[in-house]
Amino acid sequence: MGRLVCVSNRISLPRKSAAPGGLAVGILSALKRTGGLWFGWGGETVDHEPGEPDLHIREGVTYATIELRASEFDNYYNGYSNDVLWPLFHYFLKGMHYSVEQRDAYESVNRTFAQKLVPLLTPDDRIWVHDYHLIPLGRRLRELGVRQPLGFFLHIPFPNIEMLRVLPCYAELLRDLTSYDVVGFQTENDLQAFHSGIEHLFGAEALKPDGRIRIGDHVLRADVFPIGVDVASVQREAAEAISTEVVRRMVDSLMGRSLMIGVDRLDYSKGLVERFVAYESFLETYPENIGRITYLQIAPLSRTDVRAYAEIRQSLEQAAGRTNGRFADTDWTPIRYLNRNFPHATLMGFLRAAKVGLITPLRDGMNLVAKEFVVSQDPQDPGVLILSTLAGAARELTGALLVNPYDTRAVSHAMRAALEMPLPERRERYNAMMQVLKRNDINAWTRRFTEALEHVQGGSSRVRVLGTTA
């Protein structure tokens, strides 16, 4: 079995003082098994031609970080990646602003990635590319003569062809994805959306009965690989964090009130404005809860250079101010809205202390916070998860209270049901979800995808992983 090479838009060297996030845990566990390379942008922009990658070896894993041109970075990252692909893939056409200059920068940065990566490759490598920032990388590597197995995993949703066709260069994007040997998605819906694009561009005959896709002489495998969390680590962090000073102070400040919590990056896809409106409706419709529940929303700032994010921040501040102005008392604030981040362990402690987890994105590829909320709970007295049906996690977490995030009345009803749910039902829902989360944890995700890449080399039949989600 050859070395695994993972490529992502951004990487950072592990630090003793900081625990890696869920995705990093999964990638690192896969890289450490055979010795591997993690390649990506290190966070530095330069005004000249980027130099050679900086190499660092930690615990058998080689980290290779590159610089990017300052003149291209904004158009590549804030522009094409996050002002074109992100809104389009999340079905938010209003937020999409296409320009040829941005697309050119996107192509150029992907060319730089390929040029800097190729000299580091060995003949028996297996290459795993991550997310929408790097869709053209497979084609760029093939153009430079790379023949090793290439895999790509999309962490966000994939749009149906009728949505994708809005993109002027949608055909090129689909062709870029067919440069890979394995293409992975979060859910069956995303896979079917990809199939709709393949059929539109290449004809129904490209989709084979065994699930493979044939484009000319090239055969690729597209499948569902739902990403998970590190169950044991999250359980341990949550149990330990609940007794730390910062979590104890937060719990003490509730003064016996129930806690409802949301943890989301500040992004219009997360449905935060709709969530705040639903909470206001909940207090209005069920006034017996006034003064008895506190809603804590943690929303770290995200992509502050993109115009849409400044607008949503203003809308949230207005919505929180309106609700607090209507319902607050001298010793109670209905919404605590924080634009800051906390260490992962502290967040797990907050989640464990909550009676209700409120995760209602308008569209999400998966949503790992929903999974972390369930895993962090006390098995003897678990809280209740309210989850959007438009999050990929809803396919697995059927024990949650599933809601349409646009339905204000349904979300407010779910808040009441969650707060009043009896302990036996909470335990039953929790145990059912934990069975799925243990089966589909972060290590299972990396193992299934890397096994699919190995089968490319061995010519084995297609690995079917969809049935693992239930």
User: How far is it, in rounded angstroms, from Cα 134 to Cα 21?
Assistant: 20
Q: Catalytic residue positions?
A: 155, 364
User: How far is it, in rounded angstroms, from Cα 401 to Cα 414?
Assistant: 7
Long-range CB contact pairs, 197-204, < 8 A, 24+: 197/160, 197/161, 197/164, 197/170, 198/174, 199/161, 200/161, 200/165, 201/171, 201/174, 201/175
For 262, the 3-state DSSP assignment is: strand
Tokens of 401: 């209270």
Number of residues that make up the chain: 470
User: How far is it, in rounded angstroms, from Cα 279 to Cα 333?
Assistant: 13
Closest residue by Cα to residue 190 from 358, 370, 390:
390
Closest residue by Cα to residue 266 from 281, 276, 257, 280:
276
- Position 457, amino acid: Q
- Position 160, amino acid: N
Closest residue by Cα to residue 71 from 53, 46, 107, 97:
46
Closest residue by Cα to residue 114 from 72, 87, 145, 90:
145
Taking a C-beta distance cutoff of 8 angstroms, is the pair 38, 62 a contact?
A: yes
DSSP 447-469: HHHHHHHHHHHHTPPPPP-GGGG
Closest residue by Cα to residue 40 from 143, 136, 142, 110:
110
For 353, the 3-state DSSP assignment is: helix
357 φ, ψ to 5°?
A: -105, 125
122 φ, ψ to 5°?
A: -120, 160
Taking a C-beta distance cutoff of 8 angstroms, is the pair 324, 333 a contact?
A: yes
User: How far is it, in rounded angstroms, from Cα 400 to Cα 397?
Assistant: 6
User: How far is it, in rounded angstroms, from Cα 252 to Cα 255?
Assistant: 6
User: How far is it, in rounded angstroms, from Cα 384 to Cα 261?
Assistant: 11
